Amino acid sequence: MASIKDIADRAGISTTTVSHVLNKSRYVHPDTVARVMKAVEELHYQPNMLARGLRSRSTKTIGLLVSDVENPFFSEMARAVEATAYQRGYNMIFCNTDENLEKEILYIDVLFAKQVDGLILSPVAGDHSFLNRYLEKNARVVFVNRTIEQIACPSVVCDDEVAMYQLVCQLLASGHRRLGAIIGMEKVTTTTSRLEGLRRAVATVGLTLADVQLFYGESRRDGGYQAARTVIEMETPPTAVISFNSVMLDGFLLGLLDLAPNLISNIEVTGFGYSLVARACQPSKRYIRQPSYQVGASATNLLLDILENKRDWSMKQEVVANEIVVRGAASSVPSPELRAGD
């Protein structure tokens, strides 16, 4: 690999002059600049970005950590982060923590060791006090989709509680009273906010969460499949099932297709996200469309604006509206007014 010394030797000048040309740190005569750039091209020189980052305190690189790349929400969000970062002159390093706190800690340590400028993090469940040692050194972290109440970082989230409330109210208005819900990872903020929306909705008709059949799907396809097994064995199954993500929704529908396809026409299956499996089965007239691309782009712009001193570091939370789609017609769900710390 060519070095600055190799370029200097080829161009017949000092390494200091080469450095000034490459870093644009001092005026250099245009003829000399031309000789340097010709040598760079001939030697296929690639700058050492880590060394440059140590000098400039910026590597123009950010890290993105998602909790489950299998979830289409996160894959689409990652696409938005990469595209937005690229447009603004940054690179992205992508990590999938697979809902595993140990992997998350490892990847965060590795990313900061590689001098990334900041992180966009969808945190897994668990103790995140380890982040404080980085935040105390002015590390920049933006939470996305999920938050950690004990850690003071800005965030970009969806209005999941309101969307769930609106969806369940529509199901209740259609006459459903026997409801089931396939919930995701416990003790993460998306699950708790969606459960709260469900609780508020059923309370409008005098029901409580105890009246809802809860299936613990752990945000996995297998969890949705096991929920289908349980429903099939029930003497009086729910007439509507709400999945907390599209991965579990897929698993539930595949379970019905494999084990009791007749139930697909008897149970309205809906929730957050709508996959190809759901499109094929058409188990509901309505579902929640999540703005995954907008969330990723907003989180990236927020982080980069902070890094470039265009926005102050604060604990502000940006809330992006979900949409309830009914028969292909999208209607925005109003965002809730969240208090600081919610």
- For the stretch 72-129, pLDDT in tens is 999 999 999 999 999 999 999 999 999 999 999 999 999 998 899 999 999 999 999 9
In the chain, where are the structural domains located? 4-47, 57-158+292-321, 160-289
- pLDDT tens figures, 301-318: 999 999 999 999 888 999
- pLDDT tens figures, 243-294: 999 999 999 999 999 999 999 999 999 999 988 899 899 999 999 999 999 9
| Residues 184, 219 contacting (CB under 8 angstroms) | yes
Identical fold at 57-158+292-321 and 160-289? yes
User: Which residues fall within 8 angstroms of residue 143, CB to CB, at 6 or more apart?
Assistant: 121, 122, 123, 151, 153, 154, 155, 156, 157
pLDDT of residue 23: 72
Q: Helix count (H) and strand count (E) of the chain? A: 13, 13
Q: Please provide residue 337's backbone torsions phi and psi, each rounded to the nearest 5 degrees.
A: -85, 105
How many Cβ atoms from other residues are within 10 Å of residue 263's Cβ?
18
Q: Please provide residue 83's backbone torsions phi and psi, each rounded to the nearest 5 degrees.
A: -65, -45
Q: Domain 57-158+292-321: state its class.
A: alpha beta
Q: How far apart are CA 237 and CA 178, in angstroms?
A: 8
Total residue count of the chain as it appears in this document:
342
Q: How far apart are CA 319 and CA 52, in angstroms?
A: 36
4-47 folds as 434 Repressor (Amino-terminal Domain) (1.10.260)
Q: If you average pLDDT over every residue of the chain, what do you get?
A: 90
> Which CATH code for domain 160-289?
3.40.50.2300
| Residues 176, 226 contacting (CB under 8 angstroms) | no
Report yes or no on whether pTM surpasses 0.85: no
Question: Is residue 240 very low, low, confident or very high in pLDDT (cuts 50, 70, 90)?
Answer: very high
